[in-house]
Structure 1
Amino acid sequence: MSTASASTIVEETVRHRRSDLVELSHSIHAEPELAFAEYRSCAKAQALVAERGFEITAAAGGLDTAFRAEFGDGALVIGVCAEYDALPEIGHACGHNVIAASAVGTALALADVAGQLGIKVVLLGTPAEEAGGGKVLMMNAGVFDDVAASVMLHPGPLDIARARSLALSQVLVTYLGREAHAAVAPYLGLNAADAITVAQVAIGLLRQQMAPGQMAHGIVTVGGQATNVIPGRAEMAYTMRANDAESLRELEGRITDCFLAGAIATGCEHRIEPTEPAYHELNPDRWLADVFREEMVRVGRSPVGADVEAAFPLGSTDMGNVTQILPGIHPIVGIDAGGASVHQPAFAAAAAGPSADEAVIEGAVMLARTVVRLAESPVERERVLARQERRAAS
């Protein structure tokens, strides 16, 4: 079968299933669920592929809200990643409902040509991208071991074929002091909340010397219970980001010293605990990204140029860890959110609007056609298979 013929089939499949895919996107959007608790969303993401005959493994990697759904038995194993967790308070302000529905559409389309292309289609339900690192945990458990290449997309304010992201780590910092009456005997206390203040001032002063791409941001999660009691315990959650893992490690060392400064200045004890696996920066496969860019242009989109791609990393994602290990892409498909960007309430509303619905359909078409190109390009197919063989042998 020619590339054009297979490409036509997958596009027709997605467009034929338009109402089902849009309904799936809206249903997940209407019932937002947080990391590791996406029980309804996980089930919804499996329903259409189960009907199509995919073999489903629930709780993939030991995670209750993860799954692995397989179709076909070809040598080239293609992973399609679906995310479906939401954010506290603002729901699907990152548009993971669009990600899930487009991934399902991609998997359904590729199932229709799996035998002809000699591929195995693996739809991966990956929970807890916003907090928890579901893909990292699944990789560590071996769920990605046989996957030769992995694809997914993410909605955003622009069309970006070769999207970048930042490496990320998150910690919980706890200060332990001593309670005392704030008026009667304040000198008997050790103020844990003051330790947070000192640490945050130190981080604020450090910003002038942070390298390009490095950033830190956090919130106070525990700061005391009453104004007339010196807090004996205080906590803050902090996120650190950088252009790459090496720069992130350097930043972590400097921020750790700022945390220590708070403890030393106030006499408090402190501890620092990672709250989830570290996220690596995206390393998108150039060939796959270039093909996806061609698909964007073909459907009438206007992806930003390479100079803009390089200048604007968009947040952080555990898909970065996947692309460090195997060929993959994580393009951004633009939706009209009235100028809003991800993690804003207006973007959550737009994620169930007409523009987002088009992103679901066009996104699935573009991903599926990109995989078809890979499967039918002998040199590129051999490249990803050879890399998979080396990884399996290591």
Structure 2
Amino acid sequence: MSLNLSTLKKRISNAVETYKNEIIQLAEEIFDHPEVGQQEFFASRLLTQTLAKYGFEVLYPLPKLPTGFQAVLKCPSPGPRVALLAEYDALPELGHACGHNLIGAAVVGAGLALAAVKEELRGEVLIFGTPAEESNGGKVVLVEEGAFQGVDAALIFHPGDANIMEVSSLALEALEFIFEGRAAHASSSPEEGINALEALIQFFNNINSLRPYLKGQTHINGIITEGGVTPNIIPERAVARFYIRAENHKALKEVLQRVENCARGAALATGCSVAWRNYEFSYDAMVTNKALAGAFKENLRALGVTEFGPPRRSRGSLDMGNVSRVVPAIHPYLALGSGRLIPHTREFARAARGEAGRNLVMLAAKALAWTAADVLLDGELLTRIQEEFSLGLLKEGGP
């Protein structure tokens, strides 16, 4: 680290401390007004108003994301473009039991600190508000709309149970299967009916027969959402929703073909018709840019963090995965409190609103801002980030 960049990081940290009350207030107000995906109007307005107040050019709402936003800070001289991604959606019933209130507040806090030293920076800082991570991820829309074109690096952090810098996730398809049969009186004329529920049950049985032959990182989880209206009528329609996950896009494509064949077989055996559709966006597997993650880790060390966990393969899926296929990206986890808390629990939610959450949001704001400054000012780091990303694309044959 050069002396100038080291000195600048001290100024950035001081700026984060200057805005401490405002950053914590953002986190706690969002916590106190939990909103599920695509309903985050309070949170998105609060964050955009704060960014506009401190000199960001704000576009809100976005055309295809009513609770999404883009905020841009233009520095005096041209240079790289770095994006910080904010989440702020809550869980049904549990509220902010995943700590997204801390993500939104930390990202905006980092933005305010960078704005305070923008005369020393070059390029642009972009902050994207990305709704609905817990359901139908807004980052997928941003990728499809080309929001990351010309962006050199994308950063986010997530509260978790340990400090994990390198995270990978599973590719995901969310499919709804609809079986159609023919209604009839279930007792007096069952032979006139075609039972869609029987077809759906057979579909589940076919998938269960498939499970022993699936690769270790493949997961198929489904529920029945429609199965008839009364026992006295042969069900003419039955519907199930599935999450199908695999290690990467290629493996996912292979398992999808087998699942679809299970559906066709069940329909053929019962005389039903079957169709399927995506009911949520598809997620790509997350690919962490190790050079960028390494810079984030070194900044955490300088901020006093001493314990780090090994790279982690998530058994879930992240819409940040789609971002990581078009721009170098990281999705590190930072321990909330003692690190023994499990996300999506009421205990985790309480910590996100308590002293542990206040400490974490300040740490994350500093680490994000420092790493953004690295991308903007450290040309050698940026070259390593870009070379790693380009090599990854060549290995996979494109994004």
Q: Which amino acid aligns with 1:37?
A: Q
Aligned pairs (5 A) from 1:160-309: 160-306=164-310, 309=311
Q: CA deviation at 1:338?
A: 8.2
Structure 2: which 5+ residue stretches go unaligned?
394-398
2:56 matched to which residue of 1?
Answer: 54
Deviates more, 1:92-101 or 1:294-303: 294-303
2:280 match: secondary structure: coil
Deviates more, 1:318-327 or 1:29-38: 29-38
Please give the per-residue CA displacement for 1:71-130, whole angstroms capped at 9, x wherever unaligned: 124421111101122233333232211111111111111212233121311110111222
| Residues 1:127 and 2:128 are matched in the alignment | no
Q: 1:360 to 1:141 in 2, by over 3 A?
A: same
Q: Which amino acid aligns with 1:150?
A: A
Q: Among 158, 163, 167, which residue is 1:159 paired with? A: 163
Aligned pairs (5 A) from 1:23-34: 23-34=25-36
Q: Which amino acid aligns with 1:320?
A: G
1:65 match: secondary structure: coil
Deviates more, 1:208-217 or 1:113-122: 113-122
Q: 1:239 to 1:71 in 2, by over 3 A?
A: same
Deviates more, 1:70-79 or 1:236-245: 70-79
Q: CA deviation at 1:2?
A: 0.8
1:364 matched to which residue of 2?
Answer: 365
Q: 1:386 to 1:282 in 2, by over 3 A?
A: closer
Deviates more, 1:209-218 or 1:337-346: 337-346
Normalising by the residue count of structure 2, what TM-score does the alignment of the two structures yield? 0.90
1:381 matched to which residue of 2?
Answer: 382
CA distance in 1, matches of 2:79, 2:282: 31
The percent identity for this pair of structures is 33
CA contact (8 A) 1:148 1:387 kept: no
Q: 1:303 to 1:271 in 2, by over 3 A?
A: farther
Q: 1:4 to 1:360 in 2, by over 3 A?
A: same
Q: 1:30 to 1:226 in 2, by over 3 A?
A: farther
| Residues 1:9 and 2:11 are matched in the alignment | yes
CA distance in 2, matches of 1:148, 1:167: 23
Structure 1: which 5+ residue stretches go unaligned?
none
Q: 1:332 to 1:31 in 2, by over 3 A?
A: same
Normalising by the residue count of structure 1, what TM-score does the alignment of the two structures yield? 0.91
Q: CA deviation at 1:353?
A: 2.7
RMSD of aligned Cα (Å): 2.4
CA contact (8 A) 2:291 2:385 kept: no
Q: Which amino acid aligns with 2:67?
A: T
Q: CA deviation at 1:319?
A: 0.9
CA distance in 2, matches of 1:94, 1:266: 43
2:167 match: secondary structure: coil
Q: CA deviation at 1:373?
A: 2.3
CA contact (8 A) 1:174 1:234 kept: yes
1:37 matched to which residue of 2?
Answer: 39
Q: 1:373 to 1:59 in 2, by over 3 A?
A: same
Please give the per-residue CA displacement for 1:306-339, whole angstroms capped at 9, x wherever unaligned: 3xx14x3252111111111111111011114885
CA distance in 2, matches of 1:372, 1:206: 49
CA contact (8 A) 2:161 2:339 kept: no
2:396 matched to which residue of 1?
Answer: none
Q: CA deviation at 1:280?
A: 0.9
1:89 matched to which residue of 2?
Answer: 93
Deviates more, 1:346-355 or 1:1-10: 346-355
